Amino acid sequence: MKMYTIPKEVESFIEKAEFGHFINNRYGGNMAKRYLEIINPANEDSLAKVPVAGSDEVDAAVSAARDAFKSPDWHDMSPDSREDLLHRLATLIEEKHETIAAILTLENGKLYAQAKSEVMSAARTFRFYAGWCTKMEGDLIDISLKQPQKKKNFTFLKREAVGVVVAIVPWNFPISIASWKLAPALAAGCTVVLKPSEVCPLSSIYMARLFEEAGFPRGVFNLVVGDGETGALLTTHKNVDKITFTGSTAVGKIIGKSAMENLTAVSLELGGKSPVIVFEDADLKLAAKSVAMGIFRNGGQVCVAGSRAYIQESIFESFLDMLKQEAESMNISDGFDPDADLGPLVSEAHLSRVCDYVEKADNKLRLKTGGHKQEGSGFYMQPTIFTAEDNNSVLASEEVFGPVLLAIPFSDMNHALSMANDSEYGLSSAVWTKDISKALECVHTLDAGWVFVNSIPRSDPNFPIGGNKLSGLGRELGKEGLYAYTKLKSVNIAY
């Protein structure tokens, strides 16, 4: 493995990471009652200890966000000044992207090249929404209200910032998923309290300073570090106007219920068990590379990972051999190794969860390749492929969130579509065919928030994402992602 030297700035930041929370543009938290240890999944070294926010810190962060929301410094800021702030933030992220990415690889294990592109994509998201600050619109509408003294109606709908937003993000793409929430919320004029995952908070803690450096007034962006208990304190807080959550369906349901207690607005981006359909007429070489990439990149810890591959019977065995070759040629190594294709999984607990799925796989399934964790230090798992005859197994229905693919043959399009839709999830889906009629029929019939034809699921700031069924509520990114942080005010003036 080639060596990589951790930049001095990263080392000195990590030494100070106990100053975890960022409230009113100041770091704090060195007097916490509880701390969390952050582990490098590539070698199991302890990286840092970060404080866990309790109710005092959560109250302080929410109050800071509330005060900032009401303060003229932010509330009355002109749209073009908000735009400038978001552009400045994007520039700072770009300037510091290597440092942020190095921290991200250390805490998460992902490949350094992918960490850099994640951070740069977050900068692009902030730029995309910077442009929206000056483009918010309302509607002028006609209504039929009868007014006294034959007065007329002047009626319009005004979009306003929803208020204080709590953003809770998972560990798999901590920086880009945070940007999908923070950028539109700030563009709309909201204030935010972010809680990163307890496993990977360091990159977000580092980034917090950039909000101050960019010039955001105090209290507009706040961050609290903690675990599920901290998350629950935030999502049950009565002084919050909107919760935006990305994570598991199990936690999403808990948050949805508690949001309804306070009638807090809520968006939920949850899990998936996304199908990929490969027809015999597809560009099979490209499809095999993409199907493998779609499930193995980031160790399969991707909400839109194509974890169920439905392959037409006539090409089933030959296509599976191509997938096996892709899987077996992957170089598993430390994320800083430039030759690595696959880094470690995020934590020991997650690795054992994934291994559990593999070890307890239904005995009707056939293991084609992989199936083992790698011996030695670090939480490494082989890319794994199983085959099955149908959807009747745990691996076909539950989200593993690891590098584990289940391949199933199909006879015709209806058979493929009925198995693809036979899931309680409905996040993403992909279809590989050169036949436009087949592709369009699949687009029409697949019950999923995203459909990709001859392409693997990736995000773009102008491309709304979100799930159907147990995969979530609402959409992020694009114009829809901005309007999710607004509320309508309906105004009637009699004249």
Candidates 85-93, 155-163, 269-277, 281-289; binding stretch for ligand NDP (CB under 6 A): 269-277
Convert residues 348-387 into a mask of x (bound to ligand NDP by CB under 6 A) and - (unbound). Answer: ----------------------------------------
Identify any residues that bridge with 244 across adjacent strands, giving them in sequence order.
167, 267
User: How many residues sit close enough to ligand NDP to count as binding (CB under 6 A)?
Assistant: 31
Decide whether 107 or 198 has the Cβ nearer to ligand NDP: 198
Identify which of 42, 178, 28 has the alpha carbon closest to the alpha carbon of residue 108.
Answer: 42
The CB-of-368 to ligand NDP minimum distance in angstroms stands at 24
Cross-strand partners of 37: 49
DSSP string, 292-309: HHHHHGGGG--TT-EEEE
* Active-site residue set: 269, 303
Rounded to whole angstroms, how far apart are CA atoms 84 and 134? 11
Return the residues of window 231-260 that contact ligand NDP according to CB under 6 A. 231-232, 235, 246-248, 251, 254-255
Per this entry, what is the length of the chain? 495
Q: How far is the CB of 259 from ligand NDP (least distance, A)?
A: 10
Of 169, 193, 174, nearest to 107 by C-alpha is 174
Least gap, CB of 177 to ligand NDP (angstroms): 6
Query: Where are the extended beta strands (E) located within 249-375?
Result: 265-269, 274-278, 306-312, 366-369
Minimum distance of ligand NDP from residue 74's CB (angstroms):
26
Nearer to ligand NDP, 108 or 384 (CB): 108
269 binds ligand NDP (CB under 6 A): yes
Contact with ligand NDP (CB under 6 A): which of 41, 217, 271, 426?
Answer: 271
Given 24, 176, 197, 486, the residue binding ligand NDP (CB under 6 A): 197
Token pair, residue 217, equals 């007034």
Assess contact for 187 and 129: CB atoms under 8 A.
yes
- Determine the Cα–Cα distance for residues 124 and 121; give it in Å rounded to an integer: 5
CA distance 401 to 173: 13
DSSP letter string, 146-209: --GGG--EEEEEEEEE--EEEEE--SSSHHHHHHHHHHHHHHHT-EEEEE--SSS-HHHHHHHH
Closest CB to ligand NDP among residues 99, 248: 248
Q: How far is the CB of 73 from ligand NDP (least distance, A)?
A: 29
Question: What x/- string results for residues 213 through 232 when contact with ligand NDP is judged by CB under 6 A?
Answer: --------------xx--xx
Please tell me whether residue 29 binds ligand NDP under the rule CB under 6 A: no
| Token reading at 457 | 């699921």
Q: Is 401 in the site for ligand NDP (CB under 6 A)?
A: yes
Rounded Cα–Cα distance for residues 422 and 247 (Å)? 22
Does the footprint of ligand NDP cover residue 467 (CB under 6 A)?
Answer: yes
Contact present, 283 and 291 (Cβ < 8 Å) = no
Distance CA 93, CA 96 (A): 5
Binding to ligand NDP (CB under 6 A): which residues in 44-83? none
The one among 427, 431, 448, 482 contacting ligand NDP by CB under 6 A: 427
Do the beta carbons of residue 114 and residue 342 sit within 8 Å?
no
Cα 223 to chain center, whole Å? 17
Nearer to ligand NDP, 177 or 182 (CB): 177
Q: Report, in Å, the least distance between residue 338 CB and ligand NDP.
A: 26
- Tell me the closest approach of the beta carbon of residue 345 to ligand NDP, in angstroms: 11
Count of other CB atoms within 10 angstroms of residue 199? 21
Q: Does residue 270 touch ligand NDP according to CB under 6 A?
A: yes
- Comparing CB distances to ligand NDP, the nearer of 129 and 410 is 129
Comparing CB distances to ligand NDP, the nearer of 213 and 227 is 227
Smallest separation (angstroms) from ligand NDP to the CB of 59: 16
Binders in 115-154 for ligand NDP, by CB under 6 A: none
Which residues from 150-189 bind ligand NDP, rule CB under 6 A? Answer: 168-172, 177
Q: Which of 234, 301, 309 is nearest to 266 (CA)?
A: 234
Told to check if 198 binds ligand NDP by CB under 6 A, we report yes
The residue of the chain with the least Cβ separation from ligand NDP equals 231
Q: How far apart, in whole angstroms, are the C-alpha atoms of residue 89 and residue 130? A: 10
Torsion, Cα 291 295 299 301, to 10 degrees, reads 150
Residues in the site for ligand NDP, rule: CB under 6 A?
Answer: 168-172, 177, 195, 197-199, 227-228, 231-232, 235, 246-248, 251, 254-255, 269-272, 303, 399, 401, 427, 467, 472
